[in-house]
Amino acid sequence: MSHDAFITREEIESKSSGPLAGRTIAVKDNISTDGVRTTCGSAMLEEYVPPYDATVVERVKEAGATIEGKTNMDEFGMGTTTETSHFGPTTNPVDDERVPGGSSGGSAAAVAAGEADLALGTDTGGSVRCPAAFCGVVGIKPTYGLVSRYGLVAYANSLEQIGPLAPTVEEAAELLDVIAGADERDATTRDRGDDSDYAAAADDDVEGMTVGVLTDLVEGADDRVRSVFEDSIDDLAAQGAEIREIELESLAHAVQAYYVIAMSEASSNLARFDGVRYGRSGGFDGDWNDAFARSREAGFGPEVKRRILLGTYALSAGYHDKYYKKAQDARAWIKRDFDGALADADVLASPTMPVLPPKLGESLDDPLQLYLMDANTVPVNLADLPAISVPAGTADGLPVGVQFIGPAFGEEQIVRAGSAVEG
């Protein structure tokens, strides 16, 4: 028997006394788990079993948590409802006729239904915050570089981060405390600092905090969502926060810029799934191009194919400067706007999602409408900033989330603001 088959005394003590001891955790199915299928919600990886754990999985295990299972997701993270999953949609525990959000819908639903104490999701353009808002739980998108992406099956490298979902702000912050920090296997990460304690920041104290309300993102929201959001802002003001209205002209271009960049990166990243290196085989008769085409035709769903085609087009000769370069210029503009706004405010606020959770099947036939649902969340990923979604109340019996955005590596500020709304 190999040494790995034995559990050391130190490992036993860690599991019984670690910060997550006794907690169960669900893991989104694009995060590698040693010996456990990791499908990314796709037929392409239906039988893929990673030979190693992602860094975040190693860290939660070391902290004493038990992996409860893998959770359903939109295929390769491409979607806002989980309906693009090869394995079928997840339903919302609040109303089983509605979507739970996406792409981390399975993780949010598992927490909301009490099937796991905590969960890990990934956020490329809102994929932790959207399902958190739709399911009535807390979700954090960390600053780019705070959490290691080693072991994450990539969709759009420059945008995505792994983040926690939990029933409360403090519990989400506790999970962030465990997974955050530098990792030598991910060169984009940085040391979080010895004095950071995200859970301790959940102290409800917003006295003197300046909250900038992003009017551009409020005005486009459903009236019912806006009403709940405004009530939560009034509550913060009653607790001593200073409220300011802020307009950012660049936000009007965020969705377009995001999808050009995300689809372009996806086109490049998913090229590895050719039936030879990874993924479902296309057979061995005919030439390689035929086998490659058969593998991808059978392995990818309609939304993934759409995004690969659009991303390839945006990167093609003659169109790179027209689309991709302009999108990167818009990204830089959005980043500058956020930096300027956060020089005048401690956190920025908006509704997490501009709409209530749609019914199953309601949005699949209109991809453009699905993309526009991300209007409030994608700017944060383009600017590499942290954000949290916290339940703010309900409208027509359905959850509404409020989003707080902080400066880079300012997770304490968003946790504090979120805890005040929750409290």
Cα 154 from chain centroid?
13
Point out the catalytic residue in the list 42, 104, 107, 127.
127
Count Cβ atoms below 10 Å from residue 54 Cβ, excluding itself: 28
The residue type found at 78 is M
Helix, strand, coil percentages in the chain from 3-state DSSP, rounded to 5: 40, 15, 40
Please indicate whether residue 268 is annotated as part of the active site.
no
Q: Considering the candidates 28, 61, 70, 141, report the single residue annotated as catalytic.
A: 28
Q: Who contacts 64 (Cβ-Cβ below 8 Å, separation ≥6)?
A: 14, 15, 16, 17, 18, 19, 20, 21, 22, 23
Measured distance CA(389)–CA(365) in Å, rounded: 27
Name the nearest CA neighbour of 267 among 300, 244, 224: 300
Residue type at 97 in one-letter notation = E
Catalytic residue among 85, 103, 104, 350: 103
Ordered alpha helix ranges (H), 80-120: 105-112
CB 385 within 8 A of CB 372: no
Active site residue 28: yes
Helices 55-62 and 169-179, packing angle to 10 deg = 110
DSSP classification of residue 322: I
Residue 208 contacts by C-beta under 8 Å, 6 or more apart in sequence? 240, 241, 242
Sign (positive or negative) of CA dihedral 139, 144, 146, 148 = positive
Tell me which amino acid residue 130 is. C
The residue with tokens 């339903």 is 91
CB 40 within 8 A of CB 119: no
Nearest to 229 by CA among 163, 95, 133, 165: 133
The residue type at 373: M
In contact, 141 and 164? CB cutoff 8 Å:
no
d(CA 201, CA 196): 9
Residue of 87, 126, 121 whose CA lies nearest to 107: 121
Q: Which helix (H) or strand (E) holds 225?
A: helix 223-238
Active site residues: 28, 103, 127
